[in-house]
Structure 1
Protein backbone atom coordinates (compact mmCIF):
# COMPACT_ATOMS: atom_id res chain seq x y z
CA UNK A 1 0.00 0.00 0.00
CA UNK A 2 2.79 2.57 0.74
CA UNK A 3 4.07 2.04 -2.81
CA UNK A 4 0.62 2.99 -4.15
CA UNK A 5 0.76 6.23 -2.14
CA UNK A 6 4.20 7.06 -3.48
CA UNK A 7 3.07 6.27 -7.01
CA UNK A 8 -0.09 8.38 -6.68
CA UNK A 9 1.81 11.28 -5.10
CA UNK A 10 4.34 11.09 -7.96
CA UNK A 11 1.54 11.05 -10.54
CA UNK A 12 -0.01 14.13 -8.93
CA UNK A 13 3.35 15.90 -8.90
CA UNK A 14 4.02 15.03 -12.55
CA UNK A 15 0.55 16.22 -13.57
CA UNK A 16 0.95 19.44 -11.60
CA UNK A 17 4.35 20.11 -13.19
CA UNK A 18 2.97 19.67 -16.69
CA UNK A 19 -0.17 21.70 -16.08
CA UNK A 20 1.50 24.60 -14.28
CA UNK A 21 4.14 24.85 -16.99
CA UNK A 22 1.58 24.60 -19.80
CA UNK A 23 -1.25 26.67 -18.30
CA UNK A 24 0.39 28.78 -15.61
CA UNK A 25 -0.61 29.06 -11.97
CA UNK A 26 -3.91 30.86 -12.51
CA UNK A 27 -4.90 28.56 -15.38
CA UNK A 28 -4.46 25.37 -13.38
CA UNK A 29 -6.95 24.16 -10.78
CA UNK A 30 -6.66 21.42 -8.20
CA UNK A 31 -9.41 19.60 -10.10
CA UNK A 32 -7.34 19.81 -13.30
CA UNK A 33 -4.36 18.29 -11.51
CA UNK A 34 -6.47 15.55 -9.95
CA UNK A 35 -8.14 14.73 -13.27
CA UNK A 36 -4.78 14.55 -15.07
CA UNK A 37 -3.35 12.31 -12.31
CA UNK A 38 -6.49 10.16 -12.05
CA UNK A 39 -7.00 11.33 -8.47
CA UNK A 40 -9.53 13.37 -6.56
CA UNK A 41 -8.70 17.03 -5.86
CA UNK A 42 -9.03 16.18 -2.14
CA UNK A 43 -6.09 13.79 -2.50
CA UNK A 44 -4.02 16.61 -4.00
CA UNK A 45 -4.82 18.68 -0.89
CA UNK A 46 -4.06 15.69 1.35
CA UNK A 47 -0.54 15.33 -0.08
CA UNK A 48 0.36 18.98 -0.64
CA UNK A 49 -1.92 21.05 1.61
CA UNK A 50 -2.94 23.68 -0.93
CA UNK A 51 -2.58 24.84 -4.50
CA UNK A 52 0.47 26.85 -3.43
CA UNK A 53 1.94 23.73 -1.84
CA UNK A 54 1.54 21.57 -4.94
CA UNK A 55 2.84 24.40 -7.15
CA UNK A 56 6.00 24.81 -5.10
CA UNK A 57 6.59 21.05 -4.95
CA UNK A 58 6.05 20.80 -8.71
CA UNK A 59 8.50 23.60 -9.46
CA UNK A 60 11.14 22.08 -7.16
CA UNK A 61 10.69 18.74 -8.91
CA UNK A 62 11.60 20.16 -12.34
CA UNK A 63 14.42 22.50 -11.33
CA UNK A 64 17.55 21.85 -13.32
CA UNK A 65 20.98 21.73 -11.78
CA UNK A 66 23.06 24.77 -12.62
CA UNK A 67 26.83 25.41 -12.44
CA UNK A 68 26.90 27.92 -9.56
CA UNK A 69 28.69 25.55 -7.18
CA UNK A 70 31.01 23.80 -9.60
CA UNK A 71 34.08 24.62 -11.66
CA UNK A 72 36.62 27.39 -11.28
CA UNK A 73 35.34 30.71 -9.97
CA UNK A 74 37.34 32.65 -12.56
CA UNK A 75 35.19 31.29 -15.43
CA UNK A 76 31.84 31.19 -13.65
CA UNK A 77 30.37 34.23 -15.42
CA UNK A 78 30.65 32.81 -18.93
CA UNK A 79 29.77 29.27 -17.87
CA UNK A 80 26.61 30.39 -16.13
CA UNK A 81 25.45 32.65 -18.95
CA UNK A 82 26.09 29.80 -21.42
CA UNK A 83 24.00 27.52 -19.20
CA UNK A 84 21.15 30.08 -19.23
CA UNK A 85 21.26 30.47 -23.00
CA UNK A 86 21.36 26.71 -23.58
CA UNK A 87 18.63 25.93 -21.05
CA UNK A 88 15.94 23.79 -22.56
CA UNK A 89 12.29 24.68 -22.93
CA UNK A 90 11.49 23.07 -19.57
CA UNK A 91 13.70 25.58 -17.72
CA UNK A 92 12.17 28.48 -19.66
CA UNK A 93 8.64 27.25 -18.97
CA UNK A 94 9.43 26.79 -15.28
CA UNK A 95 10.85 30.32 -15.02
CA UNK A 96 7.73 31.76 -16.65
CA UNK A 97 5.39 29.70 -14.44
CA UNK A 98 7.19 30.89 -11.32
CA UNK A 99 7.17 34.49 -12.51
CA UNK A 100 3.44 34.40 -13.18
CA UNK A 101 2.68 32.88 -9.77
CA UNK A 102 4.98 35.13 -7.75
CA UNK A 103 2.21 37.51 -6.72
CA UNK A 104 0.72 34.89 -4.38
CA UNK A 105 1.93 35.70 -0.85
CA UNK A 106 2.85 32.13 0.06
CA UNK A 107 4.61 31.53 -3.23
CA UNK A 108 6.46 34.85 -3.06
CA UNK A 109 7.89 33.99 0.37
CA UNK A 110 8.98 30.53 -0.78
CA UNK A 111 10.47 31.87 -4.02
CA UNK A 112 12.59 34.32 -2.07
CA UNK A 113 13.74 31.45 0.15
CA UNK A 114 14.55 29.27 -2.87
CA UNK A 115 16.31 32.18 -4.59
CA UNK A 116 18.52 32.50 -1.53
CA UNK A 117 19.11 28.75 -1.13
CA UNK A 118 19.52 27.91 -4.81
CA UNK A 119 21.49 30.83 -6.19
CA UNK A 120 22.52 33.66 -3.87
CA UNK A 121 23.66 31.49 -0.94
CA UNK A 122 25.78 29.05 -2.95
CA UNK A 123 27.34 31.92 -4.91
CA UNK A 124 28.01 33.94 -1.76
CA UNK A 125 29.80 30.92 -0.28
CA UNK A 126 32.24 30.99 -3.19
CA UNK A 127 32.93 34.72 -3.06
CA UNK A 128 35.47 36.57 -0.97
CA UNK A 129 35.42 40.11 0.31
CA UNK A 130 33.31 42.18 2.64
CA UNK A 131 30.70 42.87 -0.04
CA UNK A 132 30.11 39.22 -1.04
CA UNK A 133 26.42 39.43 -0.02
CA UNK A 134 25.80 42.40 -2.27
CA UNK A 135 27.77 40.97 -5.20
CA UNK A 136 25.92 37.63 -5.00
CA UNK A 137 22.56 39.42 -5.02
CA UNK A 138 23.62 41.65 -7.89
CA UNK A 139 24.79 38.63 -9.90
CA UNK A 140 21.41 36.96 -9.35
CA UNK A 141 19.66 40.15 -10.48
CA UNK A 142 21.87 40.35 -13.55
CA UNK A 143 20.90 36.82 -14.59
CA UNK A 144 17.22 37.47 -13.84
CA UNK A 145 17.36 40.53 -16.08
CA UNK A 146 18.68 38.47 -18.97
CA UNK A 147 15.99 35.83 -18.44
CA UNK A 148 13.33 38.53 -18.34
CA UNK A 149 14.59 40.18 -21.53
CA UNK A 150 14.77 36.87 -23.38
CA UNK A 151 11.75 34.99 -22.08
CA UNK A 152 9.23 37.61 -20.97
CA UNK A 153 9.87 40.62 -23.18
CA UNK A 154 11.21 38.62 -26.11
CA UNK A 155 13.87 41.22 -26.92
CA UNK A 156 14.41 40.66 -30.65
CA UNK A 157 17.96 42.05 -30.58
CA UNK A 158 19.00 39.57 -27.90
CA UNK A 159 17.10 36.68 -29.46
CA UNK A 160 18.83 37.28 -32.81
CA UNK A 161 22.30 37.82 -31.33
CA UNK A 162 24.99 35.18 -31.53
CA UNK A 163 24.97 33.20 -28.27
CA UNK A 164 28.74 33.27 -27.97
CA UNK A 165 28.74 37.06 -28.18
CA UNK A 166 26.16 37.24 -25.39
CA UNK A 167 28.15 34.70 -23.37
CA UNK A 168 31.31 36.78 -23.76
CA UNK A 169 29.76 40.17 -22.99
CA UNK A 170 27.16 39.24 -20.38
CA UNK A 171 29.49 36.66 -18.87
CA UNK A 172 32.09 39.41 -18.41
CA UNK A 173 29.50 41.50 -16.52
CA UNK A 174 28.66 38.61 -14.22
CA UNK A 175 32.35 37.74 -13.78
CA UNK A 176 33.07 41.31 -12.65
CA UNK A 177 30.56 40.80 -9.83
CA UNK A 178 31.83 37.33 -8.98
CA UNK A 179 35.51 38.16 -9.07
CA UNK A 180 36.12 41.95 -9.22
CA UNK A 181 39.37 43.14 -10.71
Structure 2
Protein backbone atom coordinates (compact mmCIF):
# COMPACT_ATOMS: atom_id res chain seq x y z
CA UNK A 1 0.00 0.00 0.00
CA UNK A 2 1.39 3.44 -0.93
CA UNK A 3 2.25 5.99 1.76
CA UNK A 4 -0.71 8.15 0.71
CA UNK A 5 -3.11 5.23 1.04
CA UNK A 6 -1.65 4.27 4.42
CA UNK A 7 -2.06 7.88 5.60
CA UNK A 8 -5.66 8.06 4.35
CA UNK A 9 -6.51 4.71 5.95
CA UNK A 10 -4.98 5.90 9.25
CA UNK A 11 -6.97 9.17 9.05
CA UNK A 12 -10.20 7.21 8.53
CA UNK A 13 -9.39 4.91 11.44
CA UNK A 14 -8.58 7.87 13.70
CA UNK A 15 -11.77 9.70 12.75
CA UNK A 16 -13.84 6.55 13.25
CA UNK A 17 -12.36 5.92 16.69
CA UNK A 18 -13.12 9.50 17.74
CA UNK A 19 -16.68 9.47 16.41
CA UNK A 20 -17.52 5.97 17.71
CA UNK A 21 -16.40 7.00 21.21
CA UNK A 22 -18.26 10.29 21.04
CA UNK A 23 -21.49 9.19 19.35
CA UNK A 24 -21.58 5.40 19.59
CA UNK A 25 -21.78 2.97 16.70
CA UNK A 26 -25.27 3.99 15.59
CA UNK A 27 -24.57 7.71 15.89
CA UNK A 28 -21.40 7.76 13.79
CA UNK A 29 -22.22 7.67 10.09
CA UNK A 30 -19.80 6.66 7.37
CA UNK A 31 -20.38 10.06 5.79
CA UNK A 32 -19.39 11.83 9.04
CA UNK A 33 -16.33 9.64 9.42
CA UNK A 34 -15.30 10.41 5.85
CA UNK A 35 -15.84 14.13 6.40
CA UNK A 36 -13.67 14.20 9.55
CA UNK A 37 -10.99 12.15 7.78
CA UNK A 38 -11.23 14.30 4.64
CA UNK A 39 -12.07 11.19 2.63
CA UNK A 40 -14.98 10.05 0.52
CA UNK A 41 -17.28 7.64 2.39
CA UNK A 42 -16.68 5.08 -0.37
CA UNK A 43 -13.01 4.89 0.73
CA UNK A 44 -14.19 3.82 4.17
CA UNK A 45 -15.88 0.80 2.61
CA UNK A 46 -12.90 0.22 0.30
CA UNK A 47 -10.43 0.00 3.21
CA UNK A 48 -12.60 -1.65 5.87
CA UNK A 49 -15.37 -3.49 3.99
CA UNK A 50 -18.25 -2.27 6.15
CA UNK A 51 -19.10 -0.02 9.06
CA UNK A 52 -18.84 -3.05 11.35
CA UNK A 53 -15.38 -3.83 9.96
CA UNK A 54 -14.31 -0.25 10.58
CA UNK A 55 -15.68 -0.35 14.14
CA UNK A 56 -13.82 -3.58 14.93
CA UNK A 57 -10.61 -2.14 13.44
CA UNK A 58 -11.07 0.98 15.56
CA UNK A 59 -11.46 -1.14 18.69
CA UNK A 60 -8.34 -3.15 17.87
CA UNK A 61 -6.43 0.12 17.40
CA UNK A 62 -7.13 1.17 21.00
CA UNK A 63 -6.45 -2.19 22.67
CA UNK A 64 -2.75 -1.65 23.45
CA UNK A 65 -0.80 -3.95 25.77
CA UNK A 66 -2.49 -6.67 27.74
CA UNK A 67 -1.37 -6.96 31.38
CA UNK A 68 -3.61 -9.97 32.04
CA UNK A 69 -1.06 -12.09 30.23
CA UNK A 70 2.08 -10.50 31.71
CA UNK A 71 3.86 -11.11 34.98
CA UNK A 72 3.05 -13.35 37.90
CA UNK A 73 -0.50 -13.84 39.17
CA UNK A 74 0.61 -12.47 42.52
CA UNK A 75 -0.07 -8.74 42.36
CA UNK A 76 -2.14 -8.98 39.15
CA UNK A 77 -5.09 -7.19 40.78
CA UNK A 78 -3.22 -3.94 41.47
CA UNK A 79 -1.27 -4.11 38.19
CA UNK A 80 -4.46 -4.46 36.15
CA UNK A 81 -6.38 -1.74 38.00
CA UNK A 82 -3.36 0.58 37.61
CA UNK A 83 -3.28 -0.28 33.89
CA UNK A 84 -6.94 0.56 33.27
CA UNK A 85 -6.81 3.78 35.28
CA UNK A 86 -3.44 5.04 34.04
CA UNK A 87 -3.26 3.81 30.45
CA UNK A 88 -4.36 7.12 29.03
CA UNK A 89 -7.23 7.55 26.63
CA UNK A 90 -6.99 4.18 24.86
CA UNK A 91 -8.69 1.99 27.48
CA UNK A 92 -11.30 4.67 28.19
CA UNK A 93 -11.99 5.12 24.48
CA UNK A 94 -12.34 1.39 23.93
CA UNK A 95 -14.61 0.96 26.95
CA UNK A 96 -16.91 3.80 25.95
CA UNK A 97 -17.10 2.73 22.31
CA UNK A 98 -17.87 -0.88 23.23
CA UNK A 99 -20.49 0.22 25.75
CA UNK A 100 -22.19 2.47 23.23
CA UNK A 101 -21.95 -0.09 20.45
CA UNK A 102 -23.51 -2.74 22.66
CA UNK A 103 -26.76 -0.82 22.30
CA UNK A 104 -26.86 -1.90 18.65
CA UNK A 105 -28.20 -5.42 18.13
CA UNK A 106 -25.99 -6.01 15.08
CA UNK A 107 -22.81 -5.67 17.12
CA UNK A 108 -23.85 -7.15 20.46
CA UNK A 109 -22.59 -10.64 19.52
CA UNK A 110 -19.25 -9.19 18.37
CA UNK A 111 -18.98 -7.18 21.60
CA UNK A 112 -19.52 -10.34 23.64
CA UNK A 113 -16.80 -11.99 21.57
CA UNK A 114 -14.39 -9.10 22.25
CA UNK A 115 -15.24 -9.28 25.96
CA UNK A 116 -14.45 -12.99 25.93
CA UNK A 117 -11.22 -12.76 23.96
CA UNK A 118 -9.87 -9.58 25.56
CA UNK A 119 -10.62 -10.23 29.21
CA UNK A 120 -12.36 -13.46 30.21
CA UNK A 121 -10.30 -15.99 28.22
CA UNK A 122 -6.86 -14.47 28.93
CA UNK A 123 -7.56 -14.37 32.67
CA UNK A 124 -9.27 -17.76 32.72
CA UNK A 125 -6.25 -19.34 30.98
CA UNK A 126 -3.99 -18.23 33.85
CA UNK A 127 -6.16 -19.13 36.82
CA UNK A 128 -5.99 -22.40 38.74
CA UNK A 129 -8.17 -23.95 41.38
CA UNK A 130 -11.92 -24.07 41.71
CA UNK A 131 -14.47 -22.16 39.63
CA UNK A 132 -11.97 -20.70 37.16
CA UNK A 133 -14.58 -19.55 34.63
CA UNK A 134 -16.82 -18.03 37.30
CA UNK A 135 -13.88 -16.17 38.86
CA UNK A 136 -12.74 -14.79 35.48
CA UNK A 137 -16.25 -13.57 34.70
CA UNK A 138 -16.65 -12.01 38.14
CA UNK A 139 -13.30 -10.27 37.65
CA UNK A 140 -14.53 -8.84 34.33
CA UNK A 141 -17.70 -7.62 36.03
CA UNK A 142 -15.68 -6.10 38.87
CA UNK A 143 -13.42 -4.14 36.51
CA UNK A 144 -16.39 -3.11 34.36
CA UNK A 145 -18.13 -1.72 37.43
CA UNK A 146 -15.13 0.46 38.28
CA UNK A 147 -14.87 1.77 34.73
CA UNK A 148 -18.60 2.45 34.68
CA UNK A 149 -18.35 4.44 37.92
CA UNK A 150 -15.43 6.48 36.60
CA UNK A 151 -16.33 7.02 32.96
CA UNK A 152 -20.11 6.74 32.67
CA UNK A 153 -21.49 7.86 36.02
CA UNK A 154 -18.55 10.20 36.68
CA UNK A 155 -18.64 9.49 40.42
CA UNK A 156 -17.04 12.68 41.73
CA UNK A 157 -16.07 11.14 45.04
CA UNK A 158 -14.20 8.27 43.36
CA UNK A 159 -12.63 10.62 40.82
CA UNK A 160 -11.34 12.83 43.66
CA UNK A 161 -10.24 9.92 45.88
CA UNK A 162 -6.58 9.16 46.42
CA UNK A 163 -5.54 7.40 43.20
CA UNK A 164 -3.18 4.97 44.92
CA UNK A 165 -5.82 4.07 47.52
CA UNK A 166 -8.31 3.21 44.74
CA UNK A 167 -5.71 1.08 42.96
CA UNK A 168 -4.66 -0.67 46.17
CA UNK A 169 -8.19 -1.39 47.45
CA UNK A 170 -9.82 -2.28 44.13
CA UNK A 171 -6.73 -4.23 43.16
CA UNK A 172 -7.12 -6.26 46.35
CA UNK A 173 -10.74 -7.10 45.38
CA UNK A 174 -9.60 -8.26 41.95
CA UNK A 175 -6.70 -10.19 43.50
CA UNK A 176 -9.14 -12.04 45.79
CA UNK A 177 -10.87 -13.41 42.68
CA UNK A 178 -7.52 -14.37 41.14
CA UNK A 179 -6.27 -16.11 44.29
CA UNK A 180 -9.49 -17.82 45.43
Tell whether the structures are fold-level matches, with TM greater than 0.5: yes
* CA displacement at 1:18 relative to structure 2: 2.5
8 Å Cα contact 2:139-2:174 kept in structure 1: yes
5+ long unaligned stretches in structure 2: none
* CA displacement at 1:10 relative to structure 2: 2.9
Asked if residue 41 in structure 1 is aligned to residue 49 in structure 2, the reply is no
- Normalising by structure 1, report the TM-score: 0.89
8 Å Cα contact 1:56-1:107 kept in structure 2: no
* CA displacement at 1:100 relative to structure 2: 1.2
Match in the other structure for 2:152: 152
How many angstroms apart in 1 are the aligned matches of 2:85 and 2:11? 30
Match in the other structure for 1:123: 123
| Range that drifts further, 110-119 or 24-33 | 24-33
Where do residues 57-96 of structure 1 align in structure 2 (5 Å cutoff)? Answer: 57-96=57-96
Secondary structure at the counterpart of residue 73 of structure 1: coil
8 Å Cα contact 2:81-2:171 kept in structure 1: yes
How many angstroms apart in 2 are the aligned matches of 1:22 and 1:148? 16
| Range that drifts further, 82-91 or 112-121 | 82-91
How many angstroms apart in 2 are the aligned matches of 1:50 and 1:44? 8
Match in the other structure for 1:17: 17
| CA displacement, residues 93-129 of structure 1 (integer Å, 9 cap, x when unaligned) | 3311221111112321111111111111111111002
5+ long unaligned stretches in structure 1: none
Match in the other structure for 1:141: 141
Where do residues 101-120 of structure 1 align in structure 2 (5 Å cutoff)? Answer: 101-120=101-120
* CA displacement at 1:26 relative to structure 2: 3.4
| Range that drifts further, 96-105 or 120-129 | 96-105
Cα RMSD (Å) of the superposition? 1.8
Secondary structure at the counterpart of residue 65 of structure 2: coil
| CA displacement, residues 112-158 of structure 1 (integer Å, 9 cap, x when unaligned) | 11111111111111100241111011101100000001110111221
